[in-house]
Structure 1
């Protein structure tokens, strides 16, 4: 099969007569996945949860739309916390939530509905991941106790306390204190101004020099991808006004003059249309 061709669809063997059998859903082209996703979501809505038919429909939906997760994950590739495999995993959780919560009656494209869920899960992952390495919770809590004890002993002794003194103050063994001090090193990631190569000279290359930046085109693509289906549902006049205002950057007075309408009327139409678009973008 040519690499550019969509995978062949044949009736599902012993699954459900209403759905095509997709041997490798991950190879379905995004353009085909959009139409197929709607078909599978329609069936998922009426199938009994836990049945083989339900599991096939749900699992196929997940695999067909993993490209959405990969697309969203690329926005976070330079965050520096966790690897991309972790990001893909939490993004997939967002995709699954979107599949389980999608409402066909809202007439919103599934891709437009799913992206906010996927991005939300990834953002939550980065917000909750503050440690540079995985550290057991008991050691995370010990780090705080050590910090408080060190401050108190510095005031009392007039100098930095030793491991033995910290152990006595916390009623711990010296080995436990050492474990806590080592674990504390996992809380602070290295500075981006740290030399990035073997040359440690001050004027040498830094890690910051190798870091990429967020591509603003990704946000623009996501916004346009989500708005596309909503714009198609506007009437001709609404689409024309949106195109004149934001595509041709015309003023409301210029639009009114060309359409033979008052500026106030154009303002009301524009406000109503933008409200309709914003409402359509909101998750359920």
Structure 2
């Protein structure tokens, strides 16, 4: 079929050749099934690599198309993951190690009849245990989860989204800490001065509104508030 396609330009022969090699593309795509990428998408990428292999292959003595197609398809899959698959920037060397590790996990699981340990993977890949652990941690950067998605263990209807379960800065705590810090200074003030500070900074009244409440002029209120603030600054150092 390849000779008919290459020498005669027979596109039917090309289509038949590609169809006969689709199982190879699917098998190579399946090596990466442990990632979050949809399997159909991976098969499409593998098929693109297969098309490139068929069109670029130059037959020579002792050369077989399948031996040329295999690294071409794998290269296309790796390029896909490297260029478009990562949600967070990861160094290229670690990306390659993650892909190699995923492939090794699928193969070793079949050979060993169990999930391979980090030590198994290190021995198979010819790298250190620390590098395997680093690759496992980096694999989490391949995809991200929406903050609007339900948290683990929650369904889409009843579960709180991630954003509702994240820690937030509670301004009330800061107010408590501030109140504790200025308590000694407040204790030295008169009830009237403490009340004016409360009206100004807690109830957010203007100096004119405070003056009407306490029966003083606006200028007098302004002077007393400045004096109270100066006292607190001195106490706080």
TM-score normalised by the chain length of structure 2: 0.37
> Structure 1 or 2: larger helix share?
2
